[in-house]
Amino acid sequence: MLRPVLNLEEVSSFIGPFHIVQGVSLAVYAGEAVVILGRNGAGKTTTLRTIMGLLPLKGGKIELGGTSLAGLPTHRIARYGLGYVPEDCVVFNMLTVEENLQLAMHVRDSETRGRLAYALDLFPDLKVAYRRFAANLSGGQRQMLAIARTLINDNKIILIDEPSKGLAPIIVDRVAEALIEVKKRSTLILVEQNFALACAVGDRYYILDSGKSVKSGIVRELELDEELQNKYLSVGA
C-alpha cells in the first residue's frame, strides 16, 4: 500500500487563544499536487504554518515520511525537506536575488547548483534581475523568487500559500505555468483562493471549513460539482 509523504491526522492548533484548526486530516503522496481550499478563516494558512512548526501542534499528528514533526523547531522541519512559500511571499528586501537564493541553500554542491540553474531557467526574470535587491522587484518577480527559493534544495514537499494573491491576471497565468512545471519534479501542497489556478495545478483537493477538513477528492470532479463549490467555497452560506 502506498504510504503518504506527508500525513496529517486530526491536527489541532491555535493562534493565541483562538482555536483555528480543530481537526484537519490529509494525506499527500509523492509527485502529486494537493490543493487546500476553503473560505477565508477556514484554517488553510494556519494548517500550513502548523506543518512548518511556525505554530505549535496542540493535538493530532503530523508525519513526514513516517517521521513525526511534532515539537520540532521550524528550521529542522525545513531541513527535513519542506520548502515553504508564505502567504505574503516573504523575500528579503535587503538581499539581492542572488543572495536570497544563496541564503536558502542547505548545502553547496553540484546538485544544488544544478537546481539553481533549473530555477533560473524556469524564471528568466530572476536571471535578468540577479544582482538587483529584492526590494526593487515587482510583485510577480517577488513571487517567482519565493518559489525559486524552494527549488534550490532537494525538498520532499513544497508548501505554497496563495501564490496568486495581489497579482495581475497575466502574472497569475505565468505563476500557474511555472507551478505546473514545478509539479513535474516536486510534490506540492497549494493553498489557493483562485479556483482556476487551483484547478489548473491541483490533482486532489481537501476542503476546510471552520478549521476542519470536510471534503476531499479529485480536482477534476470538483470542477464539475457546482453544488459543492457553492456550499464550501462561495462567499457567505
Q: What Å distances lie between residue 96 and 44, 104, 155, CA to CA?
A: 31, 13, 23
Nearer to another protein, 95 or 214 (CB): 95
Selected binder of another protein within 3, 114, 124, 135 (CB under 8 A): 135
Nearer to another protein, 30 or 54 (CB): 54
Nearer to another protein, 15 or 199 (CB): 15
Q: Is 72 in the site for another protein (CB under 8 A)?
A: no
DSSP helix/strand/coil, 136:
helix
Name the amino acid, one letter, at 95: L
DSSP helix/strand/coil, 205:
strand
CB of 84 to another protein, least distance (A): 5
Q: Phi, psi (5° rounding) for residue 225?
A: -105, 85
Q: Is 131 in the site for another protein (CB under 8 A)?
A: no
How far is the C-alpha of 21 from the C-alpha of 42, rounded, in Å? 8
How far is the C-alpha of 175 from the C-alpha of 140, rounded, in Å? 8
Q: Is 145 in the site for another protein (CB under 8 A)?
A: no
Q: Which residues within the stretch 92-121 sit at the binding site for another protein (CB under 8 A)?
A: 92-95, 99, 102-104, 106
Quick note: the x/- pattern for another protein over 24-63, rule CB under 8 A, is ----------------------------x-x---------
Torsion sign over Cα 164, 170, 175, 181: positive
Q: What Å distances lie between residue 66 and 27, 80, 85, 216, CA to CA?
A: 12, 12, 23, 22
Half-sphere exposure of 119 (CA within 13 A, CB side): 29
How far is the C-alpha of 166 from the C-alpha of 164, rounded, in Å? 6
CB of 200 to another protein, least distance (A): 26
Q: Which stretch binds another protein (CB under 8 A): 6-14, 91-99, 179-187, 198-206?
A: 91-99
CB of 73 to another protein, least distance (A): 7
Q: Which stretch binds another protein (CB under 8 A): 75-83, 118-126, 165-173, 228-236?
A: 75-83
Count of positions on this chain that bind another protein (CB under 8 A): 24
Q: Kindly list the residues in this chain that would bind another protein in the complex (CB under 8 A).
A: 52, 54, 73-76, 78-79, 84, 86, 88, 90, 92-95, 99, 102-104, 106, 135, 149, 153
